[in-house]
């Protein structure tokens, strides 16, 4: 399957990586980047790897999420033989606010 990143997911990735770099340094940022891209690569072969995202269960798209590390998770959906990464959520932030920012 092809993995496609939404603009929102790209922006969230950059914001989180910048935050990690500022407060924890270059190695931590590199580790975060490697974790994100490793999961995206896994989704190419195993798109159902994540679980149904409970905060988006009422959304018409079947959103799934997969935990990247204790501070972040990837939210995505599958459509037409592609995996669409919708967003990267920081688990330290209010989850309902992040869920409300997902496009239907």
- Domain that includes residue 94, residue range: 2-98
Q: What is the pLDDT of residue 7?
A: 96
Q: What is the pLDDT of residue 98?
A: 57
- Condensed to tens digits (0 to 9), the pLDDT of residues 38-75 reads 999 999 999 999 999 998 988 889 999 999 998 899 99
At 10, which CATH number? 3.30.2310.20
Q: Phi, psi (5° rounding) for residue 20?
A: -60, -45
Indicate whether 38 belongs to any domain.
Answer: yes
> Is pLDDT above 70 for 95?
no
Q: What is the pLDDT of residue 94?
A: 59
Are the beta carbons of 25 and 104 closer than 8 angstroms? no
Indicate whether 46 belongs to any domain.
Answer: yes
> Is pLDDT above 80 for 93?
no
The total number of structural domains that make up the chain = 1
How high is the mean pLDDT of the chain? Answer: 90
Q: What is the pLDDT of residue 59?
A: 87
Q: What is the pLDDT of residue 12?
A: 95
Indicate whether 7 belongs to any domain.
Answer: yes
Indicate whether 87 belongs to any domain.
Answer: yes
Mean pLDDT of the 14-20 span: 95
Indicate whether 103 belongs to any domain.
Answer: no
Indicate whether 10 belongs to any domain.
Answer: yes
Other beta carbons within 10 angstroms of residue 50's beta carbon come to: 22
Indicate whether 104 belongs to any domain.
Answer: no
Indicate whether 55 belongs to any domain.
Answer: yes
Other beta carbons within 10 angstroms of residue 89's beta carbon come to: 26
Close Cβ partners of 59 (under 8 Å, ≥ 6 residues apart): 102, 104
């Amino acid at each position: 399957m092809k993995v496609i990143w939404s603009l929102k997911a790209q922006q969230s990735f950059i914001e989180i990586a910048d935050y990690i770099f500022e407060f924890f340094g270059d190695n931590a940022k590199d580790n975060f980047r490697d974790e994100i891209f490793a999961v995206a690569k896994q989704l190419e072969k195993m798109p159902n790897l994540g679980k149904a995202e409970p905060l988006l269960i009422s959304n018409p798209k079947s959103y799934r999420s997969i935990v990247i590390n204790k501070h972040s998770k990837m939210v995505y959906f599958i459509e037409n033989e592609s995996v669409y990464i919708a967003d990267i959520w920081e688990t330290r932030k209010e989850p309902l606010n992040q869920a409300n920012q997902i496009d239907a």
